[in-house]
Structure 1
Amino acid sequence: MAVLLVCSVAGLTAAAAHATSDGEDLRPAGGDIASLVSDRTLRVEQRQQQADDLQREIDDVLDAADRSSGIDAVARRLRSLRDVAGLSTARGPGIRVTLDDAPRSAATSGVDPNYLVVHQQDLQAFVNALWAGGAEAVSLQGQRLVSTTAIVCVGSTVIIDGRPYSPPYVVEAIGDRPGMTYSLGTSPEVVNYERYVTKYRLGMKVESSDDLVIGPYTGTTSLQYARPLA
């Protein structure tokens, strides 16, 4: 019965991953950018709904397992693994960081425009510092971040697991607040960003919260890797 439970959950998880990753061309050949972004966002939302439906089925299987004394240990183990993998909701005290582009008035003659916008490496610097400081769960723009999450910068837009976002960017982290605060204050990359905040008026706000809620990761859990041709 325990094997059946694991197989059932694994099958549903694989189906959820397929629902969020099935065959989309990530490099469109042309067309209006706004229309392409709108179309991609709609398709992501549709796949997200499919994944949410499958996730509810997984939860139903685990709930049923909790009511069966013979497989309690397996169900508890599965739930603990889901927590570690970021597949369940996290709640607790933490830190919220908001990053934003500089105001239009900062774009004076002689200033490189690249100095006035939040870049991919800036977001990664803050996220990495929070992890290093003891974060147990981290989200960006409300999306749970896990080890396979890709943060990609395309022009002035950041794409997280296929979904485009514009500033301001909000990073939330649940965990050891003193540790995360210390890590932010000592990270060379974060300190460098703060210099640009002072000189070019980039936006940065760090807040402490007693009660943050970060939802589960809902993207694909399947990995793609290169294979030799022969």
Structure 2
Amino acid sequence: MTRSFIRPARLAAIGVFALAGLIFWVSFNTAQGTNLRSDDSMLRLSDLIQDRSRKNAELDNSAAALRRQVDALAQRDDGSTAEDKRRLHRLEKNAGLEKVRGSGLSVTLDDAPTNATAKVPGLPDPQPNDLVIHQQDLQAVVNALWKGGAKGIKVMDQRLISTSAVRCVGNTLILQGRVYSPPYTVTAVGDPGKLRQALDAAPAIKNYQEYVDAYGLGWKVDEHKAVTLPGYSGTVDLQQAEPVR
């Protein structure tokens, strides 16, 4: 019975591959000279991608609701002791399945204006790739925040767990079956001072900030006295794992 409840979430994973294929196809046509800003077929495709993303979000919500029902039934009938339930609660918290609250900060990254020019004398005019957020930029922020002692992190409106993967196709973020466009916001709960120090010390972020200064990419850090991150609501099934020695 439990497996049938989780199937909707697995459909979201399939949607990731479908969305990636669609976006790669768009990129291929762009290379052939298709004008994305005026071509009607590209606009229809963009609408289709957004529609698939919304459906994936609905599947996520449905799967989360079903999982809560399953968990409630399991906890009612499993004969666990109070200590067992406390241990399970700790494990779920450490796994990112429960809300986390506390002080923290958020980092917002954004593309530069499409007509941006070099802001520093002597630098060449930017290439298109110089003006957009890339996967390594988002990943650098996430890695730095973990290194700074973050108790939890969300990208946009989704909580990250150990199996989460930040993936970008072009300048579009695909995260856990959902599609996002810039600006991108990464929020972490933890000691704001230590989180900011970790950001400042990361070599990949220093490199990104050179492009901020040179071509106007967006970079903003905000500290929060109180912030709440949602618990992860997607599937937690592992496809492959190896023990850490």
SS at structure 2 position matched to 1:49 = helix
**Alignment-derived partner of residue 158 in structure 2:** 143
Q: Tell me the equivalent position of 1:47.
A: 59
Per the alignment, residue 104 of structure 2 pairs with 94
2:132 and 2:50 map into 1 onto residues whose CA distance is: 23
What is the aligned counterpart of 1:38 among 30, 45, 50?
50
What secondary structure sits across from 1:209 in the alignment? strand
After the TM superposition, which of the residue ranges 146-155 and 93-102 deviates more from structure 2? 146-155
Other structure's SS at 2:153 match: strand
Q: Does 1:82 align with 2:92?
A: yes
| Residue 179 of structure 1, CA deviation | 1.5
RMSD (Å), alpha carbons: 2.7
The equivalent of 1:24 in structure 2 is 14
Q: Deviations over 1:126-180 (max 9, x none)?
A: 0000000000100000100111112111122110011000011010000122211
Shift of 1:62: 7.4
Q: Relative to 1, partners in 2 of residues 1:39 and 1:113: Cα closer, same or farther, differing over 3 Å?
A: same
Moved more, 51-60 or 41-50: 51-60
Question: 8 Å contact 1:150–1:161 — kept in the other structure?
Answer: yes
Structure 1: distance between partners of 2:67 and 2:117: 46
Counterpart Cα distance in 2 of 1:96 and 1:16: 34
TM-score (norm 1): 0.82
15-24 or 41-50, larger mean C-alpha shift: 15-24
Which among 213, 216, 224 is matched to residue 198 of structure 1?
A: 213
Percent of pairs identical after alignment?
39
Q: For the residues of structure 2 that align with 1:62 and 1:90, how far apart are their CA atoms? A: 23
5+ residue gaps in structure 2? 26-40, 119-123
Q: Which moved more, 1:96-105 or 1:119-128?
A: 96-105
1:56 paired residue among 43, 68, 73: 68
TM-score between the two structures when normalised by the length of structure 2: 0.77
Change (3 A) 1:15 1:34: same
Q: Could you list the per-position Cα deviations for residues 28-60 of structure 1 after superposition, in whole angstroms to 9, with x for gaps in the alignment?
A: 577852243133213302311321212331553
Q: Structure 1 unaligned segments of length 5 or more: list them.
A: 1-10
Number of equivalenced pairs: 213
